[in-house]
Each structure stands twice: as structure tokens, then as C-alpha cells.
């Protein structure tokens, strides 16, 4: 079974505790503190693996934890850092916070690696707390706690072109004819369980990636059948090929089918319905020309015929070409009309914006982590000519925040402002270009 959704639990590593110990040597009976710092906890990263194409692995393993940092040791020995947890996912995986459903990261485009949880910082050993009045501190700092999240993973297929249409209209046959993909083909509703990808290579033209989006039914936008699971895969496509059974081999009206599927696309995501769409009138080889029926006899004994029956292709063209849709008669079985259709689609791709559709971040883990109301201090060190910001609340904020990311740094700035730290620095007389130090990190101060 193809898996395009999964729910998992992730946890970063706790920082190792600082150590309390004192130097004890033969000729140094009253040595000073030598407790080492704890190691940093491991962080949790998502990494794109281009060799993966499903989320099946996450159905068997649902818990992913980075290692904790080790406790510091004697003789100023620092604890070992915890090992990071690397989680590999297919390109196109959208990672959401489980409770809110908000996007944390879209593993597409330039985003091939993302740190979702930062490991806790290791605590300081007691060597850091020796002062002129407290030469034998029996206190060491505990490591910062781990962070945890429940996540939803959704795989949204990345393709230039998506095939839509009712089950059994010939999408799988079409894909196998025009690409190197070999989808399973059979006469069952919902035969295609997973979206198959294939590459179309055209002489004297750029190739493009095409995806067979599984068959839809009315009510798909409300989740009827497998609707939502299927519709999410078309969100990234730039052009839609709407394949319809022009021969009505299953007794359905092709015009009604087109309207029904487009209605589902509109209800699911109006932006999708606005994308360029080409109608492929398939199974033209099975269309039987219908003769007008005799309905009466005139006074001379001649048969009187009813109106000439309009062939299905003309009906489809008359209905949709005035609405701006190009209609191509094809036979996926024999290959008739495929070349003209594909070159037309390539022309549309050349004329449309090639920028990939990336889902923007809506949830920022570092901003959601609870920060304590513990105190902090803002002081000026004349000897070092720098401003020092310290305190448990500051340490926890830095431990949660990935300052290497743009959003993480924005959160850091917001924290500084909302907690009054910037105001206190201003009161102390800070100027642009002055240095601010926070637990080993140094920043140049500039007004925003």
C-alpha cells in the first residue's frame, strides 16, 4: 500500500548536567573546583532522500529521538554531545505540527535539510561558579531539557503535469504510453492507488514530469473515498490534463464528468482549478458513429429521419472550447493524437511560471516552546566594554532557538523586544555597533 501520510513523535536530546568535583592531588589538598560541563543534546533534522518515494517506513517506526548529552566529568572533562537524529524523507514531504495542522517545513525546492528541534545545551560545571568569596562552589548547572513534537508528514507529489479524470478513463494507459512509467492497469475503480510519476521526452523540446493522480469521484473534496489523499498530490502541478472517456464505455456522459471533476478541484482548492487545463478526449477508437433514426414515413413512402446525432468529440469541443479549454482527440491504446497533445502541454509549460509551489512555514517550534518567568539581568561591563545579558530565561531561549535560521533569528529579536531587554540596553546607553554578550554568543547592536 502506498503511504502518503504518517504521524510521528520526535524529541531532541537533553543537555548533560554540569559536574560538581574538586581537584584532589597528592600535594594539593585543597584544590579548586574542576567539574566539567555537560555535553549538548542531539538535535533532530529532516533530510531529503531522493531515493525514497513513499512514507511507508514511518508506518513501522513512529518515534524518533536524538541522544542526550553526557554529564560533565572530573578534571574539567566535558561530557560528550548527544548524537543528532537524522530523519530521511522523500522530496515533496510537508511536515506539520500535529495538533494545529500548521506547516513547519516543506521539504521541496532548495530545502533539503531542516533542523526541526534543537538539542538542549549542556550545563556548566562548578568550575564556572568560583568567585573570590565562593572558592568551593558545590553547585553545577543542569542541562537544558529536551524538546518534543508530534508531527504529521504528508507527501505531495512534485510534477509539472497532473492527470485527472474518473476511474477507468485511461489515465494509466496514457501514462505508460507517453512516459517510462509502468503503472498497474486493470478495469477496477480506484485501480491506481498511488500517484505514478513518469518523464515525457519530446524531440526538439524540453521534457517534463507527469503524474497519474488516482481516479476521483464526486464528493472527493469532502474526503469521500480516497479523495483528500489523492487531491493533495495535484497541488504542486502547473498544468492539468483532464482525461475523459469520449466513447462513454461505462455509460457516463463525458461532459458531465468534466464538470463533476472540475467542481471537486474547485471545492478542494480554488487555485488548482485556475491552472491551465487541457482536455484529452480519450478512447476515440471506440467511438461508434451513430446514424440518425427513422421517425416517420412521408406520403411518398420515404423514411423521415430525426436530427443527425452529433459525435461526442464535437459535443465536447462545442461545450468547452468557448470556455478556453483546448480539446484533443486521442487514443491512449493506439497512440493516436498523443504527439499533438504533448507538444501543446509543453508549450503551456514554457509560457507559465516555472517557480515551484512551496508551502510556507506557519508554525515555528522555537516560538511555541514555553519560556519561564525566571529573572535575567542586563549589565554593562566597563572592563570588557560590552553589555551582558544573562539569566535562566535567556539560557532557555537560546537553547530552544536555531539562530542560524532566518525565522529563528526573527524570534530571537522578538524575544529581546517583548521582554524589555532592548529598552534596558537603551537605558544603559548602548550605541549602534556596541557588543552584546549572551552566554558565549556575541552580537553587534543595531537599531531596527
- Give me the count of residues in the chain: 448
| Three-class SS of 136-148 | CCCCCCCCCCCCE
Judged by DSSP in three states, 394 sits in helix
Closest CA to 279 of 225, 315, 236, 233: 315
Is 266 exposed, middle or buried, given 0-12, 13-18 or 19+ CB atoms closer than 10 A?
Answer: middle
Mean pLDDT of the chain: 79
Percent of the chain at pLDDT > 70 equals: 78
d(CA 121, CA 316): 65
Is 381 exposed, middle or buried, given 0-12, 13-18 or 19+ CB atoms closer than 10 A?
Answer: exposed
144 CA to centre of own chain = 29
- Which tens digits make up the pLDDT trace of 335-367? 889 989 999 999 998 887 666 678 888 887 766
pTM over 0.75: no
**115 vs 225 pLDDT, higher one:** 115
- Which tens digits make up the pLDDT trace of 76-120? 889 999 999 999 998 889 999 998 888 899 898 888 999 999 898
Q: Is the dihedral of CA 137, 370, 420, 402 positive or negative?
A: positive
- The H or E element containing residue 258 is helix 254-268
Q: What's the pLDDT at 224?
A: 43
Task: Yes or no: say if 262 and 300 are a contact pair by the CB < 8 Å rule.
Answer: no
Amino acid at each position: 500500500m502506498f503511504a502518503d501520510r504518517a504521524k510521528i513523535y520526535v524529541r531532541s536530546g537533553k543537555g548533560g548536567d554540569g559536574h560538581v568535583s574538586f581537584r584532589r592531588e597528592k600535594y594539593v589538598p585543597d584544590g579548586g573546583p574542576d567539574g566539567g560541563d555537560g555535553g549538548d543534546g542531539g538535535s533532530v533534522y529532516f533530510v531529503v532522500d531522493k531515493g525514497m518515494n513513499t512514507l511507508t517506513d514511518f508506518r513501522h517506526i513512529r518515534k524518533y529521538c536524538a541522544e542526550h548529552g553526557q554529564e560533565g566529568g572530573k578534571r574539567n572533562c566535558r561530557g560528550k554531545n548527544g548524537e543528532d537524529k537524522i530523519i530521511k524523507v522523500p522530496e515533496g514531504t510537508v511536515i506539520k505540527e500535529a495538533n494545529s495542522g500548521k506547516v513547519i517545513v516543506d521539504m521541496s525546492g532548495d530545502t533539503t535539510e531542516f533542523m526541526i528541534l534543537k538539542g538542549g545545551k549542556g550545563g556548566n560545571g562548578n568550575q564556572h561558579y568560583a568567585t573570590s568569596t565562593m572558592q568551593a562552589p558545590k553547585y553545577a548547572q543542569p542541562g537544558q531539557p529536551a524538546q518534543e513534537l508530534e508531527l504529521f508528514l504528508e507527501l505531495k507529489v512534485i510534477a509539472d503535469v497532473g492527470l485527472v479524470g474518473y476511474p477507468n478513463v485511461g489515465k494509466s494507459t496514457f501514462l505508460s504510453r507517453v512516459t517510462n512509467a509502468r503503472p498497474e492497469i486493470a478495469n477496477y475503480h480506484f485501480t491506481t492507488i498511488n500517484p505514478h510519476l513518469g518523464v515525457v521526452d519530446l524531440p526538439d523540446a524540453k521534457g517534463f514530469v507527469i503524474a497519474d493522480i488516482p481516479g476521483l469521484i464526486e464528493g472527493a473534496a469532502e474526503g469521500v473515498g480516497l479523495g483528500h489523499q489523492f487531491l493533495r498530490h495535484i497541488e504542486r502541478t502547473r498544468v492539468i490534463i483532464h482525461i475523459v472517456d469520449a466513447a462513454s464505455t461505462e455509460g457516463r456522459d463525458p461532459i458531465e464528468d468534466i464538470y463533476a471533476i472540475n467542481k471537486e478541484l474547485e471545492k478542494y482548492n480554488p487555485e488548482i482549478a485556475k491552472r491551465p487545463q487541457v482536455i484529452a478526449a480519450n478512447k476515440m477508437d471506440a467511438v461508434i458513429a451513430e446514424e440518425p433514426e427513422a421517425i416517420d414515413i412521408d406520403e411518398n413512402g420515404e423514411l423521415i429521419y430525426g436530427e443527425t446525432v452529433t459525435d461526442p468529440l464535437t459535443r465536447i469541443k462545442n461545450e468547452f472550447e468557448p470556455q478556453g479549454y483546448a480539446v484533443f482527440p486521442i487514443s491512449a491504446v493506439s497512440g493516436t493524437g498523443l504527439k499533438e497533445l504533448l507538444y501543446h502541454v509543453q508549450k503551456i509549460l514554457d509560457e507559465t511560471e516555472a517557480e515551484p509551489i512551496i508551502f510556507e512555514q506557519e508554525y515555528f517550534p522555537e516560538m511555541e516552546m514555553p519560556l519561564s518567568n525566571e529573572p535575567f539581568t542586563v549589565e554593562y561591563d566597563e572592563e570588557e566594554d560590552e553589555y551582558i545579558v544573562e539569566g535562566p530565561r535567556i539560557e532557555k531561549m537560546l537553547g530552544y532557538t536555531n539562530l542560524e535560521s532566518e525565522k529563528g533569528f526573527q524570534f530571537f529579536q522578538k524575544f529581546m523586544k517583548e521582554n524589555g531587554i532592548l529598552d534596558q540596553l537603551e537605558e544603559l546607553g548602548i550605541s549602534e555597533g556596541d557588543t552584546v554578550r549572551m552566554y558565549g554568543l556575541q552580537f553587534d547592536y543595531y537599531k531596527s
